[in-house]
């Protein structure tokens, strides 16, 4: 029978992590330095597991390899997307990600990493690093070598509800006091440019990747042209944030009852707030804040009822 695939996330501890994933979503986190919830993941470094139905206990990677029909027969060799929630309790390193071509050659066939962020919550004065000021590669290298980070890095203010599209090659960093849902290509390749000269509990500094960063950074910086659009219909307001090469991302603000037709091979959904009910083929599934699920290809129609905010994506 057609049914959604509800998922058990995987949690990752980070030097910059905190407790917001427990405080805001009631997750059972491993420590007070928990930085990442890998909510919908088929990546070998942290795979989500199905918790309901005939595929309970299976990882997304196993389903991708053994039951490709659930995903409309998509041809990617690996599950292509990764949904995370990030708790930036301290500043993340300034970083950049490679594109597919560079990653395939230099990172053992790994995908590149284009990503995007939806700001769930943040401090009143929160900001992020997004891009750089260098006009040429020579200027970029010079500012890095001199450590003139305040001159090189662009800082932008953020507020809850903001959306940022971050193509590969973009210098970026989440800063202290932000809670973010990230939709990205399924990749775990990050090149650190600057880490504030921090050390871990053992006194070790984290590895930097200056040469690779210089090779993959887009110079000069280009802001992606993102033009969100809003569609209102019975019971739901759908905001389309981006429709791009690797993924499309939407916010569904459900208020009451709404019916949907599945017009994609499969969709990923995360409940960021509220509670309600998902109905598929006459079966009801409770939805609450912090739930994550996949609507596979054989779910042709479905209904959502309640007061909920969801972030939904597809390839």
Question: How far is Cα 192 from Cα 225, in angstroms, rounded to an integer?
Answer: 25
Cα 107–chain centre separation: 20
State which residues form the domain around 287: 229-314
165 in Cβ contact with 182 (< 8 Å): no
Q: What tokens appear for 24 in the block? A: 């805001």
Question: What token pair was written down for 248?
Answer: 């499309």
Q: Is the dihedral of CA 93, 98, 100, 102 positive or negative?
A: negative
Whether 82 and 206 share a structural domain: yes
Token pair listed for 15:
């030097």
Across 260-297, b (16+ Cβ under 10 Å) vs e yields: bebeeebbbbbbbebebebebeeeebebeebbbbbbbb
Residue indicated by tokens 């427990």? 22
DSSP letters spanning 259-273: EEE--SS-EEEEEEE
CATH of the domain at 85: 2.60.120.10
Q: Is residue 223 part of a domain?
A: no
3-state secondary structure of 108: coil
CA distance 162 to 117: 8
Q: Could you tell me which residues are beta bridge partners of residue 308?
A: 254, 274
Q: Is beta strand 248-261 parallel, antiparallel or unpaired with respect to 115-122?
A: unpaired
**Distance between CA atoms of residues 128 and 172, nearest Å:** 7
Residues 308 and 271 in one domain: yes
221 marked ligand binding residue: no
For residues 86 and 39, what is the distance between their CA atoms, to the nearest angstrom?
A: 10
Indicate the number of domains in the chain. Answer: 2
115 assigned ligand-binding residue: yes
The β-bridge relationship of strands 81-88 and 127-132 is unpaired
| Residue 140, CA atoms < 13 Å, CB-side half-sphere | 20
pTM of the model: 0.96
The question of whether 192 is a catalytic residue gets the answer yes
Verify that 238 and 183 share a domain, yes or no. Answer: no
Q: Say yes or no: 83 and 37 in one domain.
A: yes
| Residues 114, 50 contacting (CB under 8 angstroms) | no
Q: Report the pLDDT value the prediction gives residue 203, as an integer from 0 to 100.
A: 86
State how far the Cα of 252 lies from the Cα of 235, in Å rounded to an integer: 10
Judgement on whether residues 240 and 195 belong to the same structural domain of the protein: no
Could you list the mean pLDDT of each consecutive 10-residue stretch along the chain, which spans 315 residues?
95 97 98 98 98 97 97 96 98 98 96 98 97 98 97 98 98 98 98 92 90 98 93 97 97 98 97 98 97 97 98 98
Establish if 224 belongs to a structural domain: no
Rounded distance, CA 118 to CA 33, Å?
21
For residue 211, say whether it is annotated as part of any ligand binding site. no
**CA–CA separation, 69 vs 60, rounded Å?**
13
Domain identity same for 245 and 210: no
Please indicate, yes or no, if residue 221 is contained in any of the structural domains: no
Query: 220 preceded by cis ω (within 30°)?
Result: yes
Contact 110, 103 (CB under 8 A): yes
Clarify whether residues 77 and 162 are in a common domain.
yes
Instruction: Return the number of other C-beta atoms located less than 10 Å from residue 234's C-beta.
Output: 9
Whether 45 and 164 share a structural domain: yes
Asked whether residue 163 is domain-assigned, the answer is: yes
The span from the CA of 226 to the CA of 243, in Å, is 9
Quick one: 75 and 159 in the same domain? yes
Residue 222 in any domain: the answer is no
* End position of a domain, from candidates 153, 184, 216: 216
CA distance 170 to 97: 7
| Residue 167 included in any domain | yes
Q: Which of 192, 206, 222, 279 is catalytic?
A: 192
């Amino acid at each position: 029978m057609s049914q959604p695939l509800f998922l058990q996330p995987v949690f990752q501890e980070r030097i910059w992590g905190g407790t917001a994933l427990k405080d805001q979503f009631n997750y059972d986190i491993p420590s007070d330095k928990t930085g990442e919830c890998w909510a919908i993941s088929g990546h070998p470094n942290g795979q989500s597991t199905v918790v309901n139905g005939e595929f309970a206990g299976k990882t997304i990677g196993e389903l991708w390899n053994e039951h490709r029909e659930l995903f409309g027969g998509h041809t990617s060799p690996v599950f292509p997307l990764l949904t995370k929630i990030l708790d930036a309790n301290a500043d993340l390193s300034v970083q950049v990600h490679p594109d597919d071509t560079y990653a395939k050659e230099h990172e053992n066939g790994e995908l590149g990493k284009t990503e995007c962020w939806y700001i769930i919550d943040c401090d009143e004065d929160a900001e992020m690093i997004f891009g750089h000021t260098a006009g040429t590669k020579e200027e970029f290298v010079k500012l890095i070598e001199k450590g003139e980070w305040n001159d090189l890095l662009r800082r932008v203010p953020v507020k809850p509800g903001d959306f940022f599209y971050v193509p590969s090659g973009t210098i970026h960093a989440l800063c202290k006091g932000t809670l973010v849902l990230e939709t990205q290509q399924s990749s775990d390749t990050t090149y650190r440019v600057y880490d504030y000269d921090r050390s871990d509990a053992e006194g070790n500094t984290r590895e930097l990747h200056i040469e690779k960063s210089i090779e993959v950074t887009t110079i000069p910086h280009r802001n992606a042209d993102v033009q969100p659009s809003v569609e209102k219909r019975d019971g739901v307001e759908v905001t389309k944030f981006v429709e791009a090469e690797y993924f499309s991302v939407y916010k569904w603000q459900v208020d009451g009852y709404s019916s949907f037709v599945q017009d994609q091979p499969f969709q990923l959904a995360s409940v960021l707030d509220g509670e309600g009910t998902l109905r598929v083929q006459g079966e009801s599934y409770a939805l609450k804040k912090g739930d994550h699920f996949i609507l596979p290809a054989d779910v042709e129609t479905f209904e959502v009822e309640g007061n909920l905010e969801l972030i939904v994506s597809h390839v």
